[in-house]
Chain A
Amino acid sequence: MVNPVLLIVVPLALAFAVPLFGLISKKIVKFLPVVALLFNLIVSVMLLPKVMEQPIHVFIGGFSPPFCINLVAGPIGILFSVLIALVGLLVSVYALGYIKEGAIEKYHILYLLLITGATGVVLTGDIFNLFVFFEILCISSYSLVAYLGNKAGIESAVKYLLQGALGSSLILLGIGLLYAKYGTLNMADLAGNIHSIKSFSNFLPLVLLVTGLGVEAAIFPLNAWLPDAHSSAPSSISAILSGIAIEVGLYAVVRVVFTIFGASSFLVFLLFLGVLTLLIGEMSAFSQNNIKRMFAYSSIGQIGLILFALSIATPDGVSAGFFQLISHTLAKALLFLAVGYMIYRTGSMDISSLEGMGKKMPYTSLAFTIGVLSLVGMPPFIGFPSKLMIIRAALLKQETLFTVLVVLVLIATVIEGAYFFRVIQAIYFRGEKSEKKREGAPLSALIPLFIFVGLIVVIGVYPKLVTNFLDSTASELLNRLDYIKGVIG
């Protein structure tokens, strides 16, 4: 059985080794992320059936918790790890042909470090370790947004950096207050000591941590950086940011609220925040003309939807939330990758310049359309069962508050369908009469696109492939006492 620590250490070691490989030959540097992520994918998939019954606990350094750092490879951790490795692998194959200019070696180092940070956040069981890996994730994404070096990219990266640095200071303040009061940094130990959030010295760290982690998770008032950052980054990086980085931020928020604080009274606030984020994201996306900004606002909306589903706090709700997270990651990564080559061929990001793409790049447009339909929630794609599960879980609570919120969610879905159909109309039904030469995307881009399409279709038709795993994840998140007992005993 492979030690889950290797999921974090292997990408990190390869990131340290890339400059050495770069001195030998510049051509093999771009294959190193593919190798590392293939390893991660194989190990995570092998570990997945084992952790469904019993989480694996790794104690680093050979001491016992809470005097050491521990990793908790449970159902949520390994499921996220599979998702990160899968999306990371497909985007790194895409980047073999897409990244041609700039400091290529440094792109691949930063990419491997981003994957290390994301995997570290989801596997760790210690709150300061979460902060350290969260910083690795954030700093590498700031640099990758500024990678192209043009004015728009650097300006959005600076905005992202300032807000992210402020968020990190708030997280550190929250961790400091928790350590001063309880004397330990282990998540299970803290959870065992925190019984209610009525006292102010428990409430303030919760607020500070949620605000600080919420900057990366793009929850409503804290997401001002997202539209600029996701639209000015290179398209492979936009796919990783929208697909992995904000989901990992949301995981961190949810882990803090559910496991460390166990705050069931705080969840009502998160419920409202989720719906508010959803409505604002979808309404802002409606009036955009720049395709990548439209996708960025749609990501904000979807994060609101996932937060709403997770805050329902029943096993159905949490499973639905994680299912929607998987569906959004697959669809949004597919969309950004497809749009990447379309923008490269036409040279502009306006929706009006995508007219006629249906004939010029037929395979890419097909993949794009499938992604859009999945995001809106059409059967037989993965978006349909995930949204259905969310609405069903909310209605099963049988309170008027939830019914009202479900109505708002449906209104947002209708708005989403409206603006996405405008894009499909531009691609297929308004063609340019003149040049009709077909220049499709290269093979290194088409293979990942169609693997994504395949996954979206297969899981959409047989959602039971994934829902077995989701039940264990829901029970891990909601059963705080089992988590504490598993680590400390």
Chain B
Amino acid sequence: MNVIIATVLVLVMLVAAIAALIFKDLLNAVIASSVVSLIAAVIFYLLQAPDVAMAEAAIGAALVTAIFIIAIRRTKRFEE
């Protein structure tokens, strides 16, 4: 059962990471990369490392996404 959950999570993470490269609207790409951070936090928790999971969730999913969105607002939103 654990193996199935872990495999599904890793596959979703891979799909989100590739999507972050492919999207042309940079806001969508940032959201995809925050999905990668979120799933990484869940996987860390499943591997019994709560400290790392907490750090990844607070920093990766919240602060990094906010900084990227502010950066997109100051530059351009769509990538050619």
- Is there any pair of Cβ atoms, one from A and one from B, under 8 angstroms apart in the complex? no
